[in-house]
């Protein structure tokens, strides 16, 4: 047996599973196909329930020491910014009275730093498929690493390879998935105007905009909309006003610089909609 457990995928799910299993003394092999953590604008706001576990592991403290921001409230607002509803975390137990905002790669890094000595973490390893024994039971995985294929045998395989998990399908485990008709873009704005230390969800007829402060004076934004064109909507409907938030050429150029990857590859993790869509936002910013 190469390991007690092989965990496939090192997103927050796989890293957390490896942390928990390693802390119990299991020999864990954690495999991730990406050579480097991807700079994805997702999973940046941690809720009190997750923070309770992360605090036990010392990960929440690490995130705060690396600039993580405490957010006191989650507020649903109308388009003018007036509160419609608020989740006030002051009502929770002490030590649990806030959300914590940080960049996703930093959250992954803090979890990876916490891995026990019994966990071996290998990047750049693609898990191709499940291995089965003579009885058809899962007995490990087949992986590709450095151009070579090999087998890894383990008592337990954890498929932490994301929402569309190929390993789950390969194991024949069904999962129900709700599809939503909305589109989504996530990005952050450098040098954003100072915003309240809360997680704000602006509700409008055309969709939902989420806004939260991030370390370094940045602001994280996620927009979900239901119509095809978002130009003119995302920038102009922010309550602080499009000219302050997005209307200057300089700020959009910064975003464009970040999105340079999209120009080369056609894909960009910081604006999942694509580079063309980034230009559509920018075009709308002037209106
Ligand atoms: C825009 C957006 C914003 C979000 N905001 C929040 C938020 O504020 N707070 C929050 O709690 N959640 C948020 N979420 C949800 C959160 O990001 C996900 O729930 C979380 O990332 C799921 O983690 P995971 O480890 O299960 O999967 P993933 O993050 O998808 O990780 C899967 C990992 O497996 C690897 N992998 C895949 N296939 C293989 C393979 N064959 N071999 C090896 N490795 C493989 C991938 O490279 C990846 O690293 C957000 C999601 C999105 C899209």
The contacts of residue 15 (CB under 8 Å, 6+ apart) are 30, 108, 111, 112, 115
Q: What is the mean pLDDT of the chain?
A: 81
Asked if residue 267 lies in contact with residue 274, where contact means CB atoms within 8 angstroms, the answer is yes
Of residues 273 and 70, more confidently modeled: 70
How much of the chain, in percent, has pLDDT values that exceed 70? 77
Q: Rank 30-34, 37-41, 183-187, 280-284 by mean pLDDT and report only the highest.
A: 30-34
Task: Using most ligand atoms within 8 A of CB, pick from 10, 11, 18, 178 the residue to mutate for ligand 1.
Answer: 11
- pLDDT higher than 70, residue 270: no
Q: Higher confidence at residue 266 or residue 205?
A: 205
Q: What is the number of H-type helices and E-type strands within the chain?
A: 9, 15
pLDDT in tens, 229-249: 555 555 544 544 433 444 333
Distance 100 CA to ligand 1 centre (A): 17
Between residues 2 and 127, the one the model is more confident about: 127
pLDDT tens profile 96-108: 899 999 999 999 9
Q: How many angstroms separate the CA atoms of 280 and 127, rounded?
A: 37
Q: What is the pLDDT of residues 8-53, one digit of tens each?
A: 999 999 999 999 999 999 999 999 999 998 777 789 999 999 999 9
Ligand 1 centre distance from Cα of residue 40 (Å): 9
Res. 168: pLDDT tops 90:
yes
Q: How far is the CA of 224 from the centre of ligand 1 (A)?
A: 18
Q: Atom of ligand 1 at shortest distance to CA of 127?
A: 42
**Of all atoms in ligand 1, which is nearest to the CA of residue 143?**
42
Give the span between the Cα atoms of 3 and 22, in whole angstroms: 11
Q: What is the widest separation between alpha-carbon atoms in the chain?
A: 66
pLDDT of residue 8: 98
* pLDDT range class, residue 182, cuts 50, 70, 90: confident
Q: Which residue has the higher pLDDT, 43 or 142?
A: 142
CA of 92 to the centre of ligand 1 (A): 27
CA 120 / ligand 1 centre spacing (Å): 20
pLDDT band at 266 (very low <50, low <70, confident <90, very high): very low
Separation of CA 163 and ligand 1 centre (Å): 7
pLDDT for the residue 230:
55
Give me the mean pLDDT over the 199-211 stretch: 86
Decide if pLDDT at 265 tops 70: no
Q: Mean pLDDT throughout 176-188? A: 78
Mutation pick for ligand 1 pocket among 102, 161, 163 (CB with most ligand atoms within 8 Å): 161
User: What domains can be seen in the chain, in order of their start residue?
Assistant: 3-171 (3.50.50.60), 183-285 (no CATH)
Q: Residues 159-165: what's their mean pLDDT?
A: 95
| Atom 31 in ligand 1: residue holding the nearest Cα | 11
The pLDDT, as a whole number, for residue 148 is: 95
Q: b or e along 195-223 (b: 16 or more beta carbons within 10 Å of the residue's beta carbon)?
A: eeebbbbbeeebbbbbbbbbeeebbbbbb
**What's the angle, vertex CA 36, arms to CA 150 and CA 20, rounded to 5?**
75
Ligand 1 binding site (Cβ under 6 Å of any ligand atom) = 8-14, 31-34, 42-45, 126-127, 160-162, 184, 186, 222
The model's pTM: 0.85
Q: If pLDDT is split at 50, 70 and 90, which confidence band does 81 have?
A: confident
Give the contacts of 221 (CB within 8 A, at least 6 positions apart): 186, 187, 188, 189, 209, 210, 211
């Amino acid at each position: 047996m190469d390991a007690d457990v092989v965990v496939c995928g090192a997103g927050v799910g796989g890293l957390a599973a490896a942390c928990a299993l390693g802390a119990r003394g299991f020999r864990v092999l954690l495999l991730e196909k990406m050579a480097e953590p991807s700079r994805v604008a997702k999973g940046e706001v941690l809720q009190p329930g997750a923070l309770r576990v992360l605090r036990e592991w010392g990960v929440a403290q690490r995130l705060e020491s690396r600039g993580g921001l405490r957010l006191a409230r989650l507020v649903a607002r109308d388009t003018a910014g007036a509160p419609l509803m608020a989740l006030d975390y002051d009502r929770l137990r002490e030590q649990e009275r806030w959300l914590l905002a940080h960049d996703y790669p930093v959250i992954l890094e803090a979890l990876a730093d916490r891995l026990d000595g019994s966990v071996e973490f290998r990047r750049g390893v693609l898990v191709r498929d499940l291995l089965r024994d003579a009885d058809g039971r899962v007995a490990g995985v087949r992986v590709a690493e450095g151009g070579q294929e090999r087998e890894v045998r383990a008592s337990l395989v954890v498929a932490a390879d994301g929402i569309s998990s190929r390993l789950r399908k390969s194991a024949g485990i069904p999962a129900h998935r709700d599809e939503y008709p909305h589109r989504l873009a996530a990005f952050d704005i450098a040098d954003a105007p100072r915003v309240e230390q809360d997680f704000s969800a602006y509700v409008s007829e055309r969709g939902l905009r989420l806004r939260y402060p991030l370390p370094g004076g940045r602001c994280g934004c996620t927009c979900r909309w239901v119509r095809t064109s978002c130009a003119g909507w995302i920038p102009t409907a922010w309550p602080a006003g499009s000219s302050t938030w997005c209307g200057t050429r300089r700020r959009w150029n910064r975003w464009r610089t970040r999105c340079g990857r999209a120009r080369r590859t056609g894909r960009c993790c910081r604006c999942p909609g694509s580079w063309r869509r980034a230009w559509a936002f920018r075009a709308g910013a002037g209106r």
